[in-house]
Amino acid sequence: MPGGGALGGVKHLQFTIPEGDEDRVLRLERQLAREREARLAAEAIAEKGLRDLYTSQQRLALLQRITERANSSDDFQTAAAYALKDICTEMEWDFGNSYVVPDDGSAALACDCWFLASPDGLDPFVEVSRSIRFAAGIGLPGRVLTETRAHWVQDVREDTNFLRLAIARECGVVAGCAFPIMVGKQVVAIFEFFSRRTITPDEGMVETMAQIGIQLGRVVERVRAREALLHDTLHDSLTGLPNRVLLADRATQAFERRSTGGPGLAVLVIDLNGFKTINDKHGHHLGDEVLVAVSRRFSAALGSWQKEGGSEVEALLARTGGDEFVVLLAGTVEPTLAQHVAELLQSALDAPFRAGEEEAPISASIGIALCAPAYGHVDQVIRDADLAMYEAKSGDHANIVMFTPSLGNRVRNRMALEQEIREAISARQFVLHYQPIVGLSSGQVSGFEALVRWNHPLRGLISPNEFIPIAEQNGSIVSLGEWVLQEACAALARLHRTMPAGFLPSVAVNIAPVQFLQPDFIAQLRAVLRETGVPPACLKLEVTEGVAIIDSERTRRTLEQCRDIGVRTGLDDFGTGYSSLSYLHSLPFDTLKIDRSFIAAMERPKSLSIVRTILDLSKKLGLSVVAEGIETDRQSLSLAAWGCEFGQGYLLGRPEPEATAFRFNPARPIL
């Protein structure tokens, strides 16, 4: 059959894809591949994000734990130990160590606060690190200290500035990092961490460590604040010396050791002479500077003494207020040793201090009390040292006085008298007596000197020689002197109302140096003259050369102001001081008063020569002269013949109360 070949076999069918469809398939395959890659990348990103999120959460949790511990801790060492352990555990460091930085920022000092997560093989490296010191810029801690930022070393074996390189290689230490603990801009401590595996630098980890450093810095801030508060509670804010509270604590401890068979003790109470003058003249600011300088000299003197052999005796220097210091000596203290220490302290003040542009001499009166079996409490020892100082202060300046029971009785009596004087001023127990001042050529009364007396309710009239020195020492002389000036002027005004026209006697009033140099003295003087109506020319103010010794410039200004008002001034007790002549040239006095000691000794050629020299000098300087203590006609006649204008003394009239003294006939000569 024709064409039967086609029936005898099977042919393969072939399908042909159009060219456009094939391209679409290829594109589809490529799209699927890209989607698969994108999905894998997204999964990787998601996985990394989850890992980063987990790490971030872990670090945040770490920071939170350390922050909570830091906020609840008042002890940096405890907070640091906890943080080192937590950081090593969380960040997989093998070893963490800490350093403290002194205030001068010169070095990082290992403080034996560390944590070792894996002790195998690292012990030698730990032992070296526990007590090492790094100067600024040296080693890993030193670089952190200098640059105040974290440092990361991937391989310490390749770091040429790693001081522990040999021991690090031996122990297999590889990676390391360190970061600062900051208070403000100051590095106060440093943490370092090491691992025996490579750890790639991680900015997140560095940031976490920086935050940890800030939180731990707050612990240091609190510790410092607490220590500062405690220091301020126990130390003088001006000098930095122990204050009365710390002194009492240390003295009590020393006393208790002594009472249980331990060493003895001595107390030295020191009061500065001349300091009040500096305060009054230059102000409290310069006074404070002098106090600081005094404290430094005292501290240096005690320090040198202890280095040279006094180390067996503990010495505590304290400032207990104002210009008063106390030294506590605890140990085997003999009287000679305490005396020696007191002399060293006095010698420390030999060189003058500076107060502005001027030299300011300072000396010290020192009282010493040694502990004895009779004392029941250390306060009694301090009290008796204070009494001894009081005795030293009452005599010549720069005295050293050792306490004795008889001295204590004497000082207590004087202190009781001081209190009586204060009360007597308030109770108006003081009265004025008036002694006439007479013209030696005319024999007539020209005026009076007002002399204060104490009308004691039990002892009767007390001489000023007994209470004036005490009033000058305790400062009550100022208020007493103000009363004397007011009362004398009031009495003079009453006298003037009884005198004939044209005759106005004067009154002389003694003014203590401390009163004369009061800033408001001139204002008070003007007020007294205004209130009493006394003519200024009828008032004479008498001062001793002591006022010029204290402050010659202020004395000059005050004298000039008195002259401007019309009040006359006189230099009392002339000839008894060492500087009287020099002050006559520089200070504007109107009158000299020759001291009674020269008048009484006029029979002696030397005293006679002094009197005549004073009279000649005063004439050349244009000064009037009053001779006090005239008791004989011969003295009166001789003085008048030599040109002495005025005299005062028992020959001419004794001090009398106002009612008696002012009952005289101005026209009738006394002589």
Q: Decide if pLDDT at 328 tops 90.
A: yes
**Bridge partners, residue 108, by sequence:** 134
In a domain, 13, yes or no: no
- Mean pLDDT (whole number) for 479-506: 95
Q: How confident is the model at residue 504 (pLDDT cuts 50, 70, 90)?
A: very high
At 286, list the tokens: 């310069």
Burial class of residue 223 (count of CB atoms within 10 Å of its CB; 0-12, 13-18, 19+): middle
Per-residue tokens: 122? 């690292």
Element counts in the chain: helices (H) and strands (E) = 24, 23
Measured distance CA(656)–CA(463) in Å, rounded: 13
25, part of any domain? no
Residues 249 and 204 in one domain: no
Tokens at 233, concatenated: 């509670």
Number of domains the chain is built from: 3
Mean pLDDT, residues 18-34 taken together: 68
What is residue 14's predicted lDDT score, i.e. its pLDDT? 53
Residues 107 and 149 both lie in one domain:
yes
CATH number at residue 290: 3.30.70.270
Across the chain, what does the average pLDDT equal? Answer: 87
**Cα–Cα dist 425/440, whole Å:** 36
Average pLDDT over residues 182-200: 92
What gap in Å lies between CA 170 and CA 220, rounded to an integer?
35
84/206 same-domain check:
yes
- 626 and 592 Cβ atoms separated by less than 8 Å: yes
Last residue of a domain, one of 403, 418, 440: 403
pLDDT for 3: 44
363 with 471, same domain: the answer is no
Q: Which of 231, 266, 301 marks a domain boundary?
A: 231
The percent helix, strand, coil of the chain (3-state, each to 5) is: 50, 20, 25
Residue 2, classed as helix, strand or coil, is coil
pLDDT value of residue 9:
45
In terms of domains, do 226 and 256 share one?
no
- CATH no. for residue 487? 3.20.20.450
Residue 585 falls inside a structural domain: yes
Percentage above 70 pLDDT, the chain? 89
Residue 77 lies in a domain: yes
Query: Buried b vs exposed e over 541-562: b needs ≥16 C-beta within 10 Å?
Result: bbbbbbbbebbbebbeebbeeb
Q: Based on the fold, state whether residues 363 and 455 are members of the same structural domain.
A: no
Ranges 22-31, 426-435, 436-445, 501-510: which has the least confidence: 22-31
- pTM for the whole structure: 0.62
The residue among 307, 305, 301, 309 whose CA lies nearest residue 325 is 301
Is 32 a domain residue?
A: no
Q: Do 349 and 470 reside in the same domain of the chain?
A: no
Tens digits of residue pLDDT in 429-487: 999 999 999 999 999 999 999 999 999 999 999 999 989 988 988 889 999 999 999 99
* Same domain flag for 175 and 220: yes
Residue 6's pLDDT is: 40
- Residue that terminates a domain, selected from 181, 200, 231: 231
Other beta carbons less than 10 A from residue 348's beta carbon: 19
pLDDT at residue 49, rounded to an integer: 43
Strands (E), 185-255: 186-195
The burial class, CB within 10 Å (0-12 / 13-18 / 19+), for 17 is exposed
Q: Is residue 517 part of a domain?
A: yes
Residues 175, 272 within the same domain = no
Residue 15 lies in a domain: no
Do 518 and 601 belong together in one domain? yes
- Same structural domain for residues 397 and 319? yes
Per-residue model confidence (pLDDT) at position 249:
95
pLDDT at 586 (0 to 100)? 80
Is 95 part of any domain? Answer: yes
Q: Which residue range is the domain that position 171 belongs to?
A: 70-231
CATH code for the domain of 82: 3.30.450.40
pLDDT in tens, 554-580: 899 999 999 999 999 999 977 665 555
Q: Same domain for 260 and 362? A: yes
Q: Per the structure block, which two tokens stand in for 391?
A: 């005795």
